[in-house]
Structure 1
Amino acid sequence: MLGTSAFAGAAPLAADPGDLARSWASWAARFLQPDGRVVDPEQGGVSHSEGQAYALLSAQAAGDREAFERIERWTREHLLVRDDALMAWRWTPGSGVVGEDWHNATDGDLFRAWALLRAARDSGWDIPAERYTPIVADLSALCLWPDPRDPAQLLLRPGAEAFATADRVLINPSYIMPRALRDLGHATGDDRLIGAADHGVACLSELAGIGLLPDWIDVTSEGYGDPTNHDLRSAYDALRIPLYLAWSGHRDHAAVRLARAKLAPQGMSGGVAVARDDTGQVVSRSDLPGYLALRAFLECKDLPPVESSVPGPYYPAVLHLLATVAKWEVA
């Protein structure tokens, strides 16, 4: 299942470091403010921990240390408001972190720790291990939970405060980024993260086996059940599942194959099926370049330039950027 070169049966994706740098610069010019804050224009200009972390990792991948430092500095000054090393998940202009926005979102913390590790290990930047090891320790202690079906196996929770009991645990499958979990686990000697990566990949295989790539789902002692406090659907969150698996080398994973089929079902011309309801019916389609880039990445085709996504909405533009980084790293 694991691989290190091209997708099976396809020519290698071209990897151009200049293209990656240009893509990052174009994206940052639209969504990154001078102070290092990443802005989501469609949600009132708020900033999210995952947005800060995605940008941090992309800046590292593109070799833009100046932007990396600005992003990290803003993040540390505005999102580290908890009693642990994890970030508040949302910051609102004029209000800051309000209400329950101090809760963390595990994917943001995972990507931030991974970006810091990569900056030190791969870029050779002066990033002390003390910047990411406390994040890893708190992810391990607070965001992993025993699988009710087999308590020896660990599930990645969507947050330290997310719903979890001995018999039922809420997960967001799109938070499972095996490569990040394994890298951080190996770097810090935390086998719990490595185990969570392996078990996460297995869970995604189980979900694909029943034809389901959900945004949210509960893992219960009896199997999978409707998600607590969320609708059962396969939509925008779930688009990241095949991206992260392919980025991690699981290019022939059942969930990646299922996603390729569901993004462009037989008889659908152009565009991407970006959301399905609990019956599996397509409820939203899009031909925005970011979604087309994700489809192209999964199909091992050339990606449209990130510049084509920059004038549009934030979320498909960030998917486009991440797919471009992933393309560079798996080619």
Structure 2
Amino acid sequence: MRRAMAWLLRATVVCTLAGTVLTSAAATCAWPDWDAFRRSTISQDGRVIDDSTDQQVTVSEGQSYALFFALVANDRATFDKLLTWTENNLAQGDLTAHLPAWIWGKRTEGEHAGTWGVIDANPASDADLWIAYSLLEAGRLWNERRFTALGTLLARRALREETAVLPGLGRTLLPGPTGFHTSPDVWRLNPSYVPLQVMRRLAAMPGEDSSWKTLVDTSARLILNTAPHGFSPDWVEYHKGRGFRPDTQTQAGGSYNAIRVYLWAGMMAPRDPLRTSVLQAFRPMADYVRKQGDPPERVDTQSGTFGPNSGNGGFSAAVAPYLAALGQTDDARAQAQRARDLAAQKPAGYYSQVLALFGLGHLDGHFRFEADGTLVPAWKSTCPATR
């Protein structure tokens, strides 16, 4: 498969910074979608706000994704604001000592009702690993050793506090430190929490033990072995002696969590040794989109049946790179256009926006991943043409 598709090739444009033509790594690339997200969704002090909720919450996932996008955009000022807000408000002022709380906003219960602060202090491992990843890559790309050190410490803490050795599987990422070992022989897991790009990059940290490499393997099994009909579930259980089983809470449904599994798959590097297996595992999703014209909002992953509604524009943006990776360029183009058309008709919510920044940003050439998980932003090579 060629890394670039003909329909994605656009006229080359030069990067500019403050109106001056540049060819160095200090350049930035125009990314209107990021600019719009930064204006509409990130506060002046660096908080990603989900305004679809009455509590105007911020989740650690949102902070982690925004850090990644700021790095892709070479937007150091926004990156610094996001990191400072995250550390001060979600990590008790010290990311070297605390994993970030997963949700912050206007509290409505208890003695702190009516005030702003942490609503649930239990961390979310996907956010923690994305923050660590973005810090490590910011340290490398911006030559900032402080970010490298902080990312390394955060990743090590996540390894200690958010993984467990599951019998018959090995060391596996748990969704958080507490609440996911639901009984002595049962663990609750989330396939969308383990993008293989991120896991590979963390496994490549200098001086780390073999646990990270084991996590790459168990993450691949979590992704591949929980989709019997080619559709990923939001949540799954792992039972000692029985392996992966349908989640009792979500009844094997695949929806707003699982849509990210196809997104991460579509962005895998062509030379990643697991890419072919992962792409082929979810081909039924590609077949469904080609036949129906859009992705389903909900799937029963055990029966392979679908809910009545189509996914929103974010869903289309998420599956577009996956379709492109399979060589279905017309379908990928159609889903990208659907995502943009729906966003133009009605302002997209926070989650749809981040799915679009990932999916459309990747298709438009703003970033890609190498086989070892390292990030290649466009500002380090050639900027894509703006729309």
User: What TM-score, normalized by structure 1, do the two folds share?
Assistant: 0.85
Shift, 1:41, TM fit: 1.6
Give the match's secondary structure for 2:297: strand
Q: Which amino acid aligns with 2:297?
A: V
Q: CA offsets, 1:48-74, max 9 Å, x none?
A: 000000000100011011111111111
Gap change, CA 1:268 and 1:285, over 3 Å in 2:
farther
Q: Identity rate of aligned residues, in percent?
A: 25
Q: Which amino acid aligns with 1:160?
A: P
Q: Which amino acid aligns with 1:122?
A: L
Q: CA offsets, 1:290-315, max 9 Å, x none?
A: 22222222111343498763822221
2:195 paired residue among 177, 202, 210: 177
Q: How does 1:157-306 map to 2 (within 5 A)?
A: 157-164=174-181, 167-190=185-208, 191-209=210-228, 211-221=230-240, 222-227=242-247, 229-249=249-269, 252-262=275-285, 265=288, 268-277=291-300, 279-286=303-310, 288-300=312-324, 301-302=332-333, 303-304=336-337
- Do residues 68 (structure 1) and 79 (structure 2) align? yes
Give the match's secondary structure for 1:96: strand
Give the match's secondary structure for 1:127: helix
Aligned twin of 2:327: none
Shift, 1:177, TM fit: 1.4
Structure 2: distance between partners of 1:266 and 1:76: 40
Gap change, CA 1:19 and 1:307, over 3 Å in 2:
farther
Q: Please say if residues 209 and 254 of structure 1, whose CA atoms lie closer than 8 Å, have aligned partners that are also in contact.
A: no
Shift, 1:260, TM fit: 4.8
Give the match's secondary structure for 1:273: coil
Q: How does 1:43-62 map to 2 (within 5 A)?
A: 43-44=53-54, 45-62=56-73
Gaps of 5+ in 2: 16-27, 107-114, 325-331, 370-387
Q: Which amino acid aligns with 1:186?
A: A
Shift, 1:92, TM fit: 1.1
Q: Which of 1 and 2 has greater Rg?
A: 2
- Do residues 41 (structure 1) and 51 (structure 2) align? yes
Higher share in helix: 1
Give the match's secondary structure for 2:118: coil
Shift, 1:216, TM fit: 0.5
Q: Please say if residues 49 and 89 of structure 1, whose CA atoms lie closer than 8 Å, have aligned partners that are also in contact.
A: yes
Shift, 1:149, TM fit: 1.8
Gap change, CA 1:266 and 1:96, over 3 Å in 2:
closer
Structure 2: distance between partners of 1:125 and 1:305: 39
Q: Please say if residues 137 and 148 of structure 2, whose CA atoms lie closer than 8 Å, have aligned partners that are also in contact.
A: no
Q: CA offsets, 1:3-51, max 9 Å, x none?
A: 8x528xx658448787762221122111111110001122232100000
Q: Please say if residues 264 and 272 of structure 1, whose CA atoms lie closer than 8 Å, have aligned partners that are also in contact.
A: no
Gap change, CA 1:238 and 1:253, over 3 Å in 2:
farther
Structure 2: distance between partners of 1:323 and 1:182: 20
Gap change, CA 1:306 and 1:14, over 3 Å in 2:
farther
Give the match's secondary structure for 1:119: helix
Q: CA offsets, 1:147-189, max 9 Å, x none?
A: 2224xx2211100113226632210010011211221231243
Give the match's secondary structure for 1:207: coil
Q: Please say if residues 289 and 316 of structure 1, whose CA atoms lie closer than 8 Å, have aligned partners that are also in contact.
A: yes
Q: CA offsets, 1:70-95, max 9 Å, x none?
A: 11111111100399431100001333
Q: Please say if residues 266 and 323 of structure 2, whose CA atoms lie closer than 8 Å, have aligned partners that are also in contact.
A: no
- Do residues 330 (structure 1) and 351 (structure 2) align? no
How many residue pairs get aligned? The number is: 322
Structure 2: distance between partners of 1:24 and 1:201: 30
- Do residues 107 (structure 1) and 104 (structure 2) align? no
Structure 1: distance between partners of 2:246 and 2:103: 26
Q: Which amino acid aligns with 1:39?
A: I
Structure 2: distance between partners of 1:96 and 1:139: 23
Q: Please say if residues 125 and 176 of structure 2, whose CA atoms lie closer than 8 Å, have aligned partners that are also in contact.
A: yes
Q: For structure 1, which segment, 157-166 or 29-38, has the greater mean C-alpha deviation from structure 2 after superposition?
A: 157-166
Q: Which amino acid aligns with 1:240?
A: R
Q: Please say if residues 263 and 274 of structure 1, whose CA atoms lie closer than 8 Å, have aligned partners that are also in contact.
A: no
Give the match's secondary structure for 2:43: coil
Structure 1: distance between partners of 2:311 and 2:224: 28
Structure 2: distance between partners of 1:326 and 1:266: 19
Name which structure has the greater RCO, CA cutoff 8 Å, separation 6+: 1
Q: Please say if residues 40 and 46 of structure 1, whose CA atoms lie closer than 8 Å, have aligned partners that are also in contact.
A: yes
Q: Please say if residues 260 and 295 of structure 1, whose CA atoms lie closer than 8 Å, have aligned partners that are also in contact.
A: no
